[in-house]
Amino acid sequence: MASEQRRLLRVLDGESLTPPPVWLMRQAGRYLPEYRETRARAGSFLDLCYNPDLAVEVTLQPIRRFGFDASILFSDILVIPDALDRDLTFVQGEGPQLRPIAPEEVSRLDPSRAETHLAPVIETVRRLRAELPDETTLIGFCGAPWTVATYMIAGHGTPDQAPARLFGYRHPEAMEQLLTLLAEMSADYLIRQLHAGADCVQIFDSWAGVLDEASFAAYAVKPVRRIVDKVRAAVPGAKIIGFPKGAGALLAGYRAATGVDAVGLDWSVPLSFAAELQAQGAVQGNLDPLRLIAGGRALEEGVERILATLGHGPLVFNLGHGITPDAPIAHVEALLRQIRG
């Protein structure tokens, strides 16, 4: 099967398909017993990300079980700061921990080891394309520079990213320098994924929603545009999904400003607004992950509303954020039955 027949790629080209292609963010994860078993064998989360044998295995697990239309590389958005030697660890119950960066350190960051450091991830992509079913789209990804920077600056996740926002207000030159470096590194990383066999890529901007309008333009739009332009210069026609979670009304100009092919929508985006965005091109989303946990009528009504409003245009059906560990497998199966009729 030629890659242009992969259903998700057809939607990214602007085609409307019934039923729409479907995959779920974090579809390889803790809600699956086979993932938990593989994760235990890996030793640590980072060891799992950097072990091609195990990373391929967990990426394939949800495809074997559910037959999603797309598979997304199993890795993490923080492998870029890890390549910058920021002492990344994942602490059980606390999440990622890094050595916080000071403004004066930004100019001393050295990206030269990134190619070697990230080589196991690229090997995972190469193996995945060889092992996935022909019809399954392979999605590569990176974290958006702003979201990655928030973790580098605070040293951990925070509820409102106040440390990173203050860093930007107090040290605008250092912030711009950091975002530019991350954009350059991220573009190189995505180019390598595409060359290794990824069909398209997604840029996760999980913390875009905390920014005011001016900061959104400077931190969420400008660096992503830099990534898109550099990736397309190296891989003409590369398909790119942008997911600026929580961006709200600022989504209106995001596609045109960044150049992405499709816009990922979180569950708070009104479907009437989503339809306006869809008039400009493909959208992805946006079922509330808690509806998937609840199941029953809550799940059925959520799916039906999305299909009724967006199902006649270019749509990639997805959750509005990642699937959570307490999502019942039976509810995922019910979701797929409803979408696929």
Q: Mind listing the pLDDT tens digit for each residue in 46-91?
A: 999 999 999 999 999 999 999 999 999 999 999 999 999 999 999 8
Residue carrying the six token digits 């602490």: 91
Cβ 215 vs Cβ 167: under 8 Å: no
Residue 4 predicted with pLDDT over 90: no
Strands 262-264 and 239-244: parallel
- Supply the CATH number for residue 333's domain: 3.20.20.210
Is residue 30 among the annotated active site residues?
A: yes
Residue range of the domain that includes 330? 3-340
Sign of CA dihedral 189, 193, 199, 203: negative
Cis peptide before 19 (omega within 30 of 0): yes
User: In angstroms, rounded to a whole number, what is the distance separating the alpha carbons of residues 67 and 336?
Assistant: 9
Catalytic residue among 50, 151, 219, 254: 151
Residue 93 has a pLDDT of 83
Token readout for 269 is: 């985006």
Residue 129 predicted with pLDDT over 90: yes
Sign of CA dihedral 135, 140, 146, 151: positive
Catalytic residue among 6, 7, 26, 291: 26
Cβ 279 vs Cβ 313: under 8 Å: yes
Torsion angles phi and psi, residue 262, rounded to 5? -135, 150
Cβ 89 vs Cβ 191: under 8 Å: no
Cβ 164 vs Cβ 104: under 8 Å: no
Token readout for 298 is: 């809550």
Query: What value does the mean pLDDT take over residues 105-134?
Result: 98
Question: Which pairs from 330-336 meet CB under 8 Å and 24+ separation?
Answer: 330/295, 331/292, 331/293, 331/295, 331/299, 332/24, 332/31, 332/66, 332/292, 333/66, 334/295, 334/299, 334/300, 335/22, 335/287, 335/292, 335/299, 335/303, 336/22, 336/66, 336/67
Short-list 61, 56, 78, CA closest to 27: 61
Burial class (CB in 10 A: 0-12, 13-18, 19+), 30: middle
Is residue 39 among the annotated active site residues?
A: yes
The tens digit of pLDDT for each residue in 163-209 reads 999 999 999 999 999 999 999 999 999 999 999 999 999 999 999 99
User: In angstroms, rounded to a whole number, what is the distance separating the alpha carbons of residues 164 and 149?
Assistant: 7
Residue 1 predicted with pLDDT over 50: no
Residue 267 predicted with pLDDT over 70: yes
Residue 5 predicted with pLDDT over 90: no
Domain count, the chain: 1
Residue 3 predicted with pLDDT over 90: no
Is residue 26 among the annotated active site residues?
A: yes
Residue 221 predicted with pLDDT over 50: yes
The tens digit of pLDDT for each residue in 222-231 reads 999 999 999 9
Catalytic residue among 6, 7, 39, 192: 39
Residue 111 predicted with pLDDT over 70: yes
Token readout for 54 is: 């195990």
Nearest 5°: the CA angle 59, 255, 300 is 55
Catalytic residue among 10, 13, 30, 65: 30
Token readout for 185 is: 């590194």
Is residue 76 among the annotated active site residues?
A: yes
Residue 308 predicted with pLDDT over 60: yes
Is residue 113 among the annotated active site residues?
A: no
Residue 234 predicted with pLDDT over 90: yes
Crossing angle of helices 296-310 and 271-278, in 10° steps, is: 30
User: In angstroms, rounded to a whole number, what is the distance separating the alpha carbons of residues 232 and 239?
Assistant: 9
Query: What value does the mean pLDDT take over residues 25-30?
Result: 97
DSSP letter (8 states) at residue 264? E
Residue 215 predicted with pLDDT over 80: yes
Short-list 185, 52, 178, CA closest to 114: 185
Q: Average pLDDT of the chain? A: 97
Short-list 252, 282, 281, CA closest to 269: 252
Cβ 155 vs Cβ 97: under 8 Å: yes
Residue 2 predicted with pLDDT over 70: no
